[in-house]
Structure 1
Amino acid sequence: MTRAGETVGKAVGTGWRAVREGAVRAGQAGAEAAHVAEQKLAAKGLAPQQVAGALAESAQVAREEAMASTRRARKRLAKTAEQTRKDLAKAAKQAQKDAAKNKTVKSAVAATAPVKKQVKQLKKDLKPQVKQYRGELQAQIKAAKVAARAAAKDPANKKSRRWPWLILLAALGAGAAAALKGKQQVPAQQPVVPAKPTPAKPAPAKPAPTAAAPVAKPTPAAAAAPAAPVPPKAAEKPVGAPETNGQGKPTKPIGSDKN
């Protein structure tokens, strides 16, 4: 550690010594150069103060020349820009003249002229219609807004919203009642049972007259029920007289006397 410190100290010392020596040498060189310059100026008959004034004057002249050059440059730039604009305007005018003289351009312009006229006329014709439609649309929108506000404020409209539901419920109830009533009014078809015949007492000499078959009276439920379609049946057999008990009629009357 001590050796490292010694080496560092020696290096720093040598560095400072070199700097001092360099500064001394530079001072001596500057003094020698100034002495030489003074000798040269003295040989020409000039003083050092005159040299400083000449340098200041030359710097001022250079500054003024630079400012003048910048002004000149601006003026020249403005002139060139103006000349360029003039040249471009002349070129555009010449191009328009050449295009007007060209036959193809003339024919194209002539072809587009009626179309332009039609477009202008169409715009003029459509302006009142567009204004009218716009006014009508705005009036309809205003009327719709007013009607919507009035309907929203009217309490009757709030109640009327319930009517569709009530009507629907009433219709459903009426349909269910009609279905139940129809089921009650259509009972099962009951078979007609003929009444039992009572045996008639034989007359002494006269044949017993044949009595007509009793007809069963319809029940009130059957009378109230609607006529249901009856499938076709086979021909019904005639109901016999009560004396025969459902058998055929005798060919000869039964008498009281026996042979």
Structure 2
Amino acid sequence: MKILKYSLIMLLFTIFGCNSDQSNLDVVTEEEHVTTYQTNSVSVYNLEEILNGIRKWDSLRNSPDVLVPFFENYNALNIDMTQFPQGNALHAYACVLNGKLKFAIISEVYDHESYQANIGNYIKVVDLHNVDIANVTNQTYESYTFPLPTQYIQAADAINRIQDWNANYNTWLNSGLPVYQSFRIPTYSLQAQNYTVYFGLKDNTGNASVKLADLVFYDNVDLFYDNVRRRPPYPSDEKYYILDLI
């Protein structure tokens, strides 16, 4: 009888123990799911919220004391090229939403009056991130040569720009130089994949003493890309319909 009772107790303990473990596993799995969702989530904003965010940035972009805090903890963003038509330039509008700097990104194809009825459907709002640049500075890179035209830039040049921003963004923002409203991003060398996009500072070919704000694309393996253009000015041959809305 004692043996039977002992066996019954052990059976119940095993059953409840397994259920408890499974319950704990379910909690961990759910927590991991939530964490992943929060990490990869993209906030949804309507068109008017986005336009107000662009207006807010435009009203602040010449006020260094206000701008510096936006960049204190952020030096990069991610752009998933699978979300946009391949081979067409992107327009990345700086905007302030929920008190944080973000970028509203739209393909040049859709930044046009002909899409005014549903232009908001083509805008992707991207958050900024803080990325440890040791991820790129501590690597050894091959030197490649690609047929022209190409957006490829040498790793040493790319890393210099990234390091320059990280070390000197405060000085640059307080230099009195015009701060961008948006970037035009060519994509003819980019693939349908995710890129880490770092803020950078590069030399101005017209004035070596003046640095220009820059975005450096990294394929997260060993290739860097650029040719990004800061706006304004807005050349007459490019369409920026969103500017007409603000």
**TM-score scaled to structure 2, two decimals?**
0.22
Say which one has the larger Rg. 1
* Bigger RCO of structures 1 and 2 (CA < 8 A, at least 6 apart): 2
Q: Which has the higher strand share?
A: 2
Q: Which has the higher helix share?
A: 1
